[in-house]
Amino acid sequence: MDLSYGARYDTLRAEVRAFLASSWPPAGQGAALPRSEQVFAFRRRAIAAGYLAREVPRRYGGSEQPADPLAAQVIREEFARQRAPGEARGIGTMMLVPTLLERGEEWQKEKWVPKSVLGEYLWCQGYSEPGSGSDLASLKTRAELDGDTWVIHGQKIWTSDARRADFMFCLCRTEPEASKHAGISYLLIDMKQPGIEVRPLRQMTGGADFNEVFLDGARTPRDWIVGRRGEGWLVSRTTLKHERNSIGNAELLRMQFDALVALARRARRGGLPAIQDADVRQRLARIEGYVQSHVYSGYRQLSDDLHWRSPGTLALMNKLNYTNIGQEIAKLSLDLLGDGGLLDPTGHEREPGEPPQGAEGWLIHYMASLGVAIAGGTANIQRNVIGERGLGLPRDSFAQRSR
Amino acid sequence: MDFGLSEEQELLQATVRQFVGRECSGTKLREHFESEEDRSPLLWRGLAELGVAGLVVPEQHGGAGLALLDLALVAEVLGHGALPGPFLGHSLATLALVLAGSPEQQRRWLPRLAAGEGLGSVALAEEDGGGWQPEEWAAKAETTASGVKAWVPAAAAADLLVVGVAGGRLALVERGAKGVTVEPMAGADRTRRAGRVAFDAAPCELLPGGAAAAPRLRDAALVLLAADAFGGASRCLELSVEYAKTREQFGVTIGHFQALKHQLANMALEIEPSRALYWFAAHAFGALPAEAERAAALAKAHLTEAYMQAARDTVEVHGGIGFTWECDVQIWFKRALFDRAFCGAPAVHRERAARLAGW
């Protein structure tokens, strides 16, 4: 076992630091540009240096680096330390770009990948519908060809970024006669058109991170389809070899935990700092056991990636583990807040990746930890996945019957 | 960077796993568990032939010269199989000699212990719940030792005892020496039988490095218990999953039912990620001294608690049969009781971890 990164990566780290020192935050004329322009310009430089868009070929605007999870980790750490913009946030870089690279036509890659990688094109995902949540393949939004144009009718929901997005990648039913999964196609849609109406959904936290999207005769060209007609379900499952791993969210948990300890130092219990209370100390140490398990499991998965070992069932557990630990942190924070728990936190949304601050910030975190349990596959669906794919238990009979 | 096992380490685990499967699974394990007398010395001889008895003993003294991590990997496999025997006490006794013995003491004892010709154990806990930690040790020792120690693993079979004595020091006492009386204790875990040892002016030698090594010895004990707990908890999950795939009700195997599937998924989630916690603590013991003590405390607390809960869940998953004496689940359940309480319950080590963090 060896937890050091080794000389080669120490050199890389020094190079990344030197690059960042001269590139971010921008100086001179660059500092006068609007923030978004600063970010695009910085990403272009970082891509040219080989630090971002590493899995994207050069001809589509990436830096086309050999897969090296440790290099990617070093780069992420240094960018985070300098608070420099990393990969463009959002569902476009996470899901659409890898999908296009794997399944898209040449012209589609050229048209959409370069600007998506920079963050100039913002995407939203048209998957969930009011009647189709965990059972996504039952979706009803339909698309029909009118000459060379798809005409789309239906409703999508829980759509993040829909108000700002330039495009949507959308699952639509195009083959109504086919079976449930085989009737779906993967279409790309311009969001700025009259057939689309976006209504924000206000959350219990007061913010509105996601939306309802009404498609009423929205139109998109016949060839804005990824994969063939009826292949949309398969296309949406496309997964690629990624440099990503669970370390990012383990670091987030560690930051949250540190903030929780700081809260326990400030809070009072029985006239003393809460951190001197035996019960609080037990609960903190108990949570830390979970946080560290998650952090070291991240190292384990990173190492497995590096050495071509199969991560086994652990990879299926990352999301639920992250969810559970975040909830434990949230619950203890509420106990530490005391009367602060009476406040209305509405409007105290925080930047993703920042640990909670102040009573209102912790209350938002307390509520948001529920959102984590639901978004991107609910905790109960995660348990099905662990049980069925991880432990080899029989598949849910209802899910099987409805295929 | 490689936070994973080497090929040699995987081979070590596979070799021990094979031994456990061959020598002590199914009815053989049950016979050990039921037997009034401790039959594990026979099994121990077999393990010693594989080199397990001298894993951390330097090569110059006839051992393999490996690290605590390797020992912990073996502990995991033995915990998985619930293998009866003196592994824990013997491993800690050899480690104490390696860490704190004089060259002469090492020459005299280590080759015999490494070859499995002599059996070592540790006497840590004071009688009547007086404490496991070095600062709590009360037995007196200079050239003779006096006091009473409880929960000494394999006390009746051991040739050499490493005794925790006042001032947080360590003393060597031969079990056959005059003034040493051993009586068996009624422990729930029949795979690791323990005894009470009374020392009445028994001849002893202090280990010269004992005071410095005692906290390290405690940390090593915590890591080995955590590793045993991980192995045992994994086995509990396997037993539960196996049962869910074979037991039928309402015309289907009960693993079809989501209530059970989710219970098993939750068990898996409590267990698998914690493997890395004991790995880290074992690795830190040798490689990251500044983090070792706290890592061992958190790992012991976390994993032994997880094991206990996994064992409880396993009884529940098995229904009525799980609650019977006849069902083997109780073997792991009682091993979990041992891992949890031996060297101090989770709450003790969480409080230590809190103190060590400066909270």
For range B97-117, the mean pLDDT:
98
Q: How far apart are CA A288 and CA B341, in angstroms?
A: 21
The model's pLDDT over B247-295, given as tens digits with 9 standing for 90+, comes to 999 999 999 999 999 999 999 999 999 999 999 999 999 999 999 999 9
Cβ separation of B4 and A1 shorter than 8 Å? yes
Q: What is the pLDDT of residue B42?
A: 83
pLDDT score of B262: 97
Look at B1 and A5 and tell me if their CB atoms are within 8 Å.
yes
Q: Is A32 on the interface with B (CB under 8 A)?
A: no
CB contact at 8 A, B124 and B78: no
Active site residues of A: 243
Residue A349 has pLDDT above 80, yes or no: no
Q: Which of A78-87, A325-334, B218-227, B229-238 has the lowest mean pLDDT?
A: A78-87
Q: Which helix (H) or strand (E) holds A330?
A: helix A314-337
Confidence of residue B346 (pLDDT cuts 50, 70, 90): very high
Backbone angles phi, psi at B178, to 5 degrees: -70, 145
**CB-based contact, A401 to chain B, within 8 Å:** no
Average pLDDT of chain A, as a whole number: 92
As a whole number of angstroms, the distance between CA A107 and CA A385 comes to 36
Q: Do A2 and B1 touch (CB under 8 A)?
A: yes
A343: closest CA among A369, A361, A368? A361
Q: Which of A94-98, A310-314, B250-254, B292-296 has the lowest mean pLDDT?
A: A310-314
Task: Please tell me if residue A321 touches chain B, with a CB cutoff of 8 Å.
Answer: yes
Helix, coil or strand: residue B5: coil
pLDDT at A403: 61
Average pLDDT over residues B303-325: 97
Average pLDDT over residues B78-87: 97
* Res. A239 pLDDT band, cuts 50 70 90: low
Tokens of B220: 């090593």
> What average pLDDT does range B226-250 have in this prediction?
98
Is the per-residue pLDDT at A244 higher than 70? Answer: no
Q: What angle separates helix A314-337 from helix B258-271, to the nearest 10 degrees?
A: 80
| CA-based nearest distance A254→chain B, Å | 15
pLDDT of B50 strictly over 90: yes
Within 8 A of A6 by CB-CB distance, chain B residues are 1
What is the sign of the dihedral through the CA atoms of A94, A95, A100 and A102?
positive
pLDDT at A68: 87
Q: Please give the share of chain A, as a percent, with pLDDT higher than 70.
A: 96
Chain B positions touching A320 (Cβ under 8 A) are 265, 269
CB contact under 8 Å between B298 and A313, yes or no, is no
Q: What is the pLDDT of residue A245?
A: 54
How much is the pLDDT for A397?
Answer: 72
Contact A313/B351, CB-based, under 8 Å?
no
Question: What distance in Å separates residue A285's CA from the closest CA in chain B?
Answer: 5
Q: How many CA atoms lie within 13 A of A309 on its CB side?
A: 17
pLDDT at B330: 98
A374 band by pLDDT with thresholds 50, 70 and 90: confident
A246: pLDDT strictly greater than 70: no
Average pLDDT over residues B181-200: 97
Residue percentage of chain A with pLDDT more than 90:
72
The tens digit of pLDDT for each residue in A193-223 reads: 999 999 999 999 988 989 999 999 999 999 9
pLDDT, residue A351, reads 72
What value of ipTM does the predicted structure carry?
0.97
Measured between its terminal Cα atoms, the distance across chain B in Å is 31
How would residue A240 be classed by pLDDT, with cut points 50, 70 and 90? very low
Residue with tokens 């006091």: B147
Residue A242 predicted with pLDDT over 50: no
Cis status, amide bond into A200, omega within 30 of 0: no
Report the Cα A220 to chain-centroid distance in Å.
27
Q: What one-character-per-residue DSSP string does A12-35 give?
A: HHHHHHHHHHHHSS--GGGGGS-H
Q: How far is CA B168 from the centre of its chain?
A: 21
pLDDT of residue A249: 81
Q: Which residue has the higher pLDDT, A77 or B346?
A: B346
B contacts of A300 (beta carbons < 8 Å): 3-4, 275-276, 279
